[in-house]
Structure 1
């Protein structure tokens, strides 16, 4: 009897304890696809780990997907309902995802947020995530283009690196003085490769001359492409410009085989350390006196797929990313997308000042849901002219026809 009563009492106490104890909910798990690689210094992994530590109710499963695959993989995953909660998308493709309803419209959550203020974004980054008045992603950081100079080569050519070329004419004149075939040195290195990097490099030239991505065959586009053609034809830039990616092109600058180079801030996180000469940076030259400055806007954005079961939790992570933008330059090799999100003691402070100034003029590619097709048309145009398969006008006329067709097909 004693054992039976005791056992009953114990069982009752256990049941009472279970009823009165708070039940701890399992943490929400978010899946996050990113182009970052699983390295301790990569932004996506660093911020995801920090966010988990600060928010024990949320776990983030980060997965690396190659740059070339992530957009198509994400679209297919949405179609099958198996997509991640968060995905990293190149900024000109936000319009594609937004127009197809693949991304959550963040506008209502941003309006309710006490952390995110869209007015603080530079114009380019804000335009890159905006579609028909809604904000569909957040920049994870930004990059843009500037002109790198070999100061020692400038001085040997009796040029002043403190007075870098400000116009196309000055750029060509300086490149001619800096080119030295005997030393295997070209005046300028840039990338005209037939992929998105080439489009990224070409658009600022059209834009400074008064054109844009949606009108490439006017006088602005023809003058820009003719200028590029002349640099290569006159051997002021290598013919390998047509096949070199930006990082490969920049290596010729680091090696001393090009006295100037057009590239972005990512070169400062490692490649520039190989330079055995004094160097500096300057704004991209403009078409002529009084012409507008223009530069390209690069980097990926973070968006929430509409198939996510946890959009509110995913948005909390986006708020954290936004709050950490001041770390982008020194830690992650990116420019902040937000005005006044300056890092403390920025590395390469003079270069940082150049790139932050350039961010004022950085323009989004598009936006258009047909951007992949538009970019291919632009690539075909400049490659056709640079290889003399067509004149700049003929090449750009064909490109404009393909752009118009792509835009018409993408229209609802």
Structure 2
């Protein structure tokens, strides 16, 4: 049974990352720890942009010193990191610590690559449960978050003012539609978002999906249809450009930066860029009013299985230092993470009041792999973004597209 489970998890990971061809080219010699008295602990992260002079690299060195060891850190891009983590785990040659994108945690855990907090001694302490949820599978917790990022609606005050729209009036979908209509009538453009057929598309659609009351276990529900109808109507009515069908979060942001659009759905990582252009922020609203659940983004610190379990104690010390709210607040990693604890969030707000909307958004956020979806999530997400593409392009109605999506999910998960 365990072998079957591992094979299924590995298969899902390969399907999601699209990395079958590249796995054979990965070397197993880059793996991690050997025995507990080793003075060097290996750490892989998805931040290749940060070199040895960065605040992030300095924090890693500091945390290693406090734990009495040297940390050898390697940064990979996200896909490459996932590939190497999988291969190293199969070869039982994992690094001591892995920092991975949160949806990957449950897949690596299901494949038997990660230790849980009972084994490794990591403390989850006061971490907010909705953020921690991405690391939970079958009641066990397999890591701790570095923090969380998520989505909200940036708006251009000049465009709204010219259209006679008060951003405070946007309290539900109907009032957002009214605002978009006024913006279009004033000769400006409405809203940009990433509707591409990748995980970015699902990520951006989820606030509206969940904001309608839909559930990922039933993609063809009336609530899900309402959410997809909202998006497709925006394209039909000219509130959103046709380009959203292929827009990534980066390209949709570039459209917003032209100054022609009223709204742009995007994340905390655009905070500095938004400030430069004078953009401001509101939370995404549910269909009937109130902040919508948004998906939690960000990475998790995990401790892979080692031949010598005595290494976990030191690995846990390093992780607890790296994930400390104080350190995340002080370390400029340019990603503008929201700290994962309420006390840390308050400290963050005391130093940067512009994080208030983001803290509010994270407060009602949900893990994509939450509700114990685990390794089912990549299958569901792929069919969700496929349905979004069909409806956006007019190839199928929202009802038909989501019905086909649910049928495909059932077929794949019930094999």
TM category (shorter chain) comes to: 0.7 to 0.9
Residues 217-241 of structure 1: CA deviation (Å, up to 9, x unaligned): 1001100001000011111111111
CA contact (8 A) 1:329 1:336 kept: no
CA distance in 2, matches of 1:213, 1:188: 25
Summarize the Cα distance change of 1:227–1:43 in structure 2 as closer, same or farther, 3 Å threshold. Answer: farther
The aligned counterpart of 2:414 is 408
CA distance in 2, matches of 1:47, 1:172: 46
Name the larger-Rg structure: 1
Residues 196-251 of structure 1: CA deviation (Å, up to 9, x unaligned): 11111111211111112221110011000010000111111111112121122122
> Which of these residues, 135, 142, 160, is aligned with residue 154 of structure 1?
160
Summarize the Cα distance change of 1:345–1:363 in structure 2 as closer, same or farther, 3 Å threshold. Answer: closer
Kindly state the Cα deviation for residue 117 of structure 1 after the two structures are TM-superposed. Answer: 4.3
Partner-residue secondary structure (3-state), 1:331: coil
Residues 135-188 of structure 1: CA deviation (Å, up to 9, x unaligned): 101101111111111112211111223x14121111111112123695xx4211
> Which of these residues, 268, 274, 287, is aligned with residue 272 of structure 1?
274
Kindly state the Cα deviation for residue 371 of structure 1 after the two structures are TM-superposed. Answer: 2.6
The aligned counterpart of 1:94 is 105
Say yes or no: does 1:143 pair with 2:149. Answer: yes
The aligned counterpart of 1:12 is none
Say yes or no: does 1:127 pair with 2:133. Answer: yes
Kindly state the Cα deviation for residue 43 of structure 1 after the two structures are TM-superposed. Answer: 6.6
Summarize the Cα distance change of 1:404–1:248 in structure 2 as closer, same or farther, 3 Å threshold. Answer: same
Alignment root-mean-square deviation, CA: 2.3
The aligned counterpart of 1:171 is 176
Q: How does 1:212-291 map to 2 (within 5 A)?
A: 212-269=215-272, 271-275=273-277, 278-289=278-289
CA distance in 1, matches of 2:386, 2:223: 17
Kindly state the Cα deviation for residue 323 of structure 1 after the two structures are TM-superposed. Answer: 2.0
CA distance in 2, matches of 1:232, 1:347: 40
Residues 298-318 of structure 1: CA deviation (Å, up to 9, x unaligned): 011111111364222211111
Q: Give the TM-score normalised by structure 2.
A: 0.83
CA distance in 2, matches of 1:404, 1:325: 44
CA distance in 2, matches of 1:225, 1:93: 26
Residues 236-295 of structure 1: CA deviation (Å, up to 9, x unaligned): 1111112121122122222202111111111113x22441xx432111021114x67311
Residues 319-366 of structure 1: CA deviation (Å, up to 9, x unaligned): 11232456348723211111120345656523x111111111111112
Summarize the Cα distance change of 1:368–1:180 in structure 2 as closer, same or farther, 3 Å threshold. Answer: same
CA distance in 1, matches of 2:215, 2:374: 13
Summarize the Cα distance change of 1:295–1:26 in structure 2 as closer, same or farther, 3 Å threshold. Answer: closer
The aligned counterpart of 1:53 is 65
In structure 2, the gaps of 5 or more residues are 1-35
CA contact (8 A) 1:325 1:337 kept: no
Kindly state the Cα deviation for residue 391 of structure 1 after the two structures are TM-superposed. Answer: 1.1
Partner-residue secondary structure (3-state), 1:33: strand
Stretch deviating more after TM superposition (377-386 or 98-107): 98-107
CA contact (8 A) 2:106 2:136 kept: yes
In structure 1, the gaps of 5 or more residues are 1-24
Partner-residue secondary structure (3-state), 2:227: helix
Q: Give the TM-score normalised by structure 1.
A: 0.83
CA contact (8 A) 2:63 2:318 kept: yes
Summarize the Cα distance change of 1:105–1:299 in structure 2 as closer, same or farther, 3 Å threshold. Answer: same
> Which of these residues, 336, 358, 363, is aligned with residue 361 of structure 2?
358
CA contact (8 A) 1:141 1:325 kept: no
Partner-residue secondary structure (3-state), 1:227: helix
Say yes or no: does 1:83 pair with 2:77. Answer: no
The aligned counterpart of 1:4 is none
The aligned counterpart of 2:301 is 302
Partner-residue secondary structure (3-state), 2:382: helix
CA contact (8 A) 1:297 1:363 kept: yes
Kindly state the Cα deviation for residue 80 of structure 1 after the two structures are TM-superposed. Answer: 1.6
Summarize the Cα distance change of 1:88–1:164 in structure 2 as closer, same or farther, 3 Å threshold. Answer: farther
